[in-house]
Amino acid sequence: MNGSNYVLVTVGHERFYCGKLVLVKVSGDYSLCSTYADEAFRIACLKLGLTPSDCKLLDWQFLGDDLTFVL
């Protein structure tokens, strides 16, 4: 892996009507995709101004580093 990967996480919190989808860039090399998901969840919560222990990781998808953005 090249050190930067993308993970799509769904964060659950009492402030949200339903889960919030967050696309997160995770730097670093981990051996398990679930470790990327945990790190992406932590980053997403912090960027949303939430404490990770007050949130739930409802779903995640490892997208890797080969991602193209078309907006």
- pLDDT for the residue numbered 22: 97
- Taking the CA atoms of residue 47, residue 18, residue 70 and residue 7 in that order, the dihedral angle to the nearest 10 degrees is 60
- pLDDT for the residue numbered 13: 95
Specify the amino acid at residue 35.
T
How confident is residue 8, by pLDDT bands cut at 50, 70 and 90? very high
- pLDDT for the residue numbered 4: 87
Query: Could you tell me the pTM of the whole model?
Result: 0.89
Chain segment 9-67, per-residue pLDDT in tens = 999 999 988 999 999 999 988 889 999 999 999 999 999 999 999 999 999 999 998 88
